[in-house]
Amino acid sequence: MNRLQDALHSITDPSAVATSSQILDNLSGHAYKTLAITRQLDSLPWRRLFTETCLLRSLADIASLNANSESIAESAVARLDQALIIAGAPGDGRYDLIIELISKIQSDFLPSTPYQLSVCDDTSFSKAAQNPSLVTSSLAISRLSTPPSLSAFKHNLFKTPFIISDFAADWPAMSEHPWRSFEYLRFVAGRGRIVPVEVGRDYRTEDWSQQLMKWEDFLDSLESQNNQPHSVLYLAQHDLFKQFPALENDIVKPDYVFTAPAAPKDYPDYNPPGNAAQLVMNAWLGPAGTISPAHTVCTCLPMTGLIRKVIVRGYSRIRSSTFIVSRRQMASFLLIQICTSSSSSSRTQDSLASTT
C-alpha cells in the first residue's frame, strides 16, 4: 500500500514520472502473477490492486501525452482494458472511471472516422439462411411461429429448448447498427482496444492457446477469410457488452430473462449476478470451422439462460438452451448469451490470469 501511495504522489511530478511508472508496473505484475495462483474467493484484493495500478499507470501516461503520442495513448487504452478483462474493475466507481477514461483518451488522441451505414452493409435476411435444421440435435426442437407469452414461458417452456425465428430482426444490431459490418464494430469500440481470444480451432488440441490482442486485428482476421486451422482466432464467452457498452444499445433484452423461477432445491446457495439487472451477458465471435466440443455447462439455473445466435454466419451446435434465434451463412458467427446464472462470468478472468 505504501508503494502504491508513493507512486500516486509521484505522478504529478514530471521528474518522478518514470520512477512512478516503474513502481506501478512492478505492482501490477505482482498482482497479475498472484491472481494466477490464488483461489477465486481470495482474489478480490489482488483484482483491486491490479485495477488501481492499471488506472494510475494510464493516468501517468496521459500526463505526458501530446498530439504525436498515439502509441502511448493506445498502450494506455490497452492497459485499462486489461483492468476490465483480467480483474473486472472492482471498486467503487472504478468501472465507470475506466470507461470514461478510455473514451477521453480516444477522443483526444485516437480519433476515428464516424460510421455511416452504406449500401454495402447488407441488412436483409435470407429465409433459407435463417432457418437451418438442427441436424445434430438428439431430439426435435420446437420452432414457434410467434413468441410465447411470459406466463406460457414461465409455466410451460422454461425447461424446454425452443426456437423463435426472426425474433431479433428489429434490433438496431440488425439494421442501422449492423453487427455484420466490420466497420461498425471497429467504430463502436474505438481505437486501441484489446480483447481476449482463443487461438486454434479446438481447445482440446496441443496448439490451442489464449492471448490478448487488438480488437482491430481480431476483426481483420475474420474479415480476411484467410484463417488456417492453426491460426483460427475465437472470442469465447466474453462480456463484450461490459467492455463496449455502446453495443448493449443495439440489442433488446427479452422479458423472458426476467421471469427466472426460484432456484432449484439442490442449489440452496444460489445468488444471482451482482449487477443491477442481475444478468450475465456473454458473446462468442469467431470464424467458420471453430469447434466447441459437446460439454456440460455448470450453471445454477441451467434452463433460464437465453442463447441467441444473431447475425450469424457459420454453424454451431447449441445444447440446453431455452431460446435460440439463429442464422447460418458465409464465414463467421456471433453468439450472444443472456442468463441469470453467475457461474460463467469469471471464466475469462480466471483463464487469462493463468495462461497469458
Tens of pLDDT along 60-73? 888 777 656 899 99
Nine cell digits for residue 305: 439462460
Q: Comparing C-alpha atoms, which of 286, 333, 293, 331 is closest to residue 309?
A: 333
The pLDDT value given to residue 28: 93
Per-domain residue ranges for the chain?
2-109, 127-355
The pLDDT value given to residue 130: 47
What value does the mean pLDDT take over residues 223-233?
67
Mean pLDDT of the chain: 75
Please state which CATH number belongs to domain 127-355: 2.60.120.650
Q: How far apart are the C-alpha atoms of 159 and 305, rounded to whole Å?
A: 10
Tens of pLDDT along 333-346? 566 666 655 443 34
Bin 327: left if φ > 0, else alpha if -120 < ψ < 50, else beta.
beta
The pLDDT value given to residue 310: 43
The pLDDT value given to residue 128: 40
Q: How far apart are the C-alpha atoms of 13 and 118, rounded to whole Å?
A: 48
Q: Comparing C-alpha atoms, which of 115, 124, 153 is closest to residue 246?
A: 115
What value does the mean pLDDT take over residues 127-139?
51
Q: Is the pLDDT of residue 311 over 60?
A: no
Q: How far apart are the C-alpha atoms of 255 and 80, rounded to whole Å?
A: 33
Q: Is the pLDDT of residue 98 over 80?
A: yes
What value does the mean pLDDT take over residues 48-62?
92
Which residue did the predictor score with more confidence, 277 or 311? Answer: 277
pLDDT classification of 298: cutoffs 50, 70, 90: very low
Q: How far is CA 350 from the centre of its chain?
A: 14
What value does the mean pLDDT take over residues 78-103?
96
The pLDDT value given to residue 337: 66
Q: Is the pLDDT of residue 304 over 60?
A: no
What value does the mean pLDDT take over residues 104-109?
93
The pLDDT value given to residue 292: 67
pTM, 2 dp: 0.79
Tens of pLDDT along 147-175? 889 888 888 887 777 888 788 888 898 88
The pLDDT value given to residue 32: 93
Lowest model confidence (mean pLDDT) among 46-50, 121-125, 139-143, 188-192: 121-125
